[in-house]
Amino acid sequence: MIELVSERPDRVVCRPVGDLDIYSVDAFRRVIGDVTRSGVALKIDLMHLTYIDVVGARAISNASGYVSSGGSPTLVVGGTRAIRRMVDYASERSS
């Protein structure tokens, strides 16, 4: 499940809940696609994520890069140490 919350008129918070893996990543990508078309800043909050695989980590890394390349800032926050390591690893590999 993906929760979307508007913190401010110019920023949306995306909160993946539960697992973000090969089975659920398409929903995440659809949500991110909708947000990027809106042109607002994006905050991805990993606090409620319990599991992530490399496909999910790459999706977060790609979303962050895609939104930022369009001129809107992206911030990735929260998550356990293991989840953050996986996201950082995917980000390093895509650079």
Structure tokens at 80: 């356990």
- Chain segment 67-88, per-residue pLDDT in tens: 666 667 788 999 999 999 999 8
Model pLDDT for residues 28-48, shown as the tens digit of each residue: 998 888 777 777 888 999 999
Q: What is the pLDDT of residue 94?
A: 67
- The reported pLDDT for the residue numbered 65 is 73
With b for 16 or more beta-carbon neighbours within 10 A and e for fewer, the 86-95 pattern comes to bbeebbeeee
pLDDT of residue 82: 94
- The reported pLDDT for the residue numbered 32 is 84
Q: What residue type is 15 in one-letter code? A: R
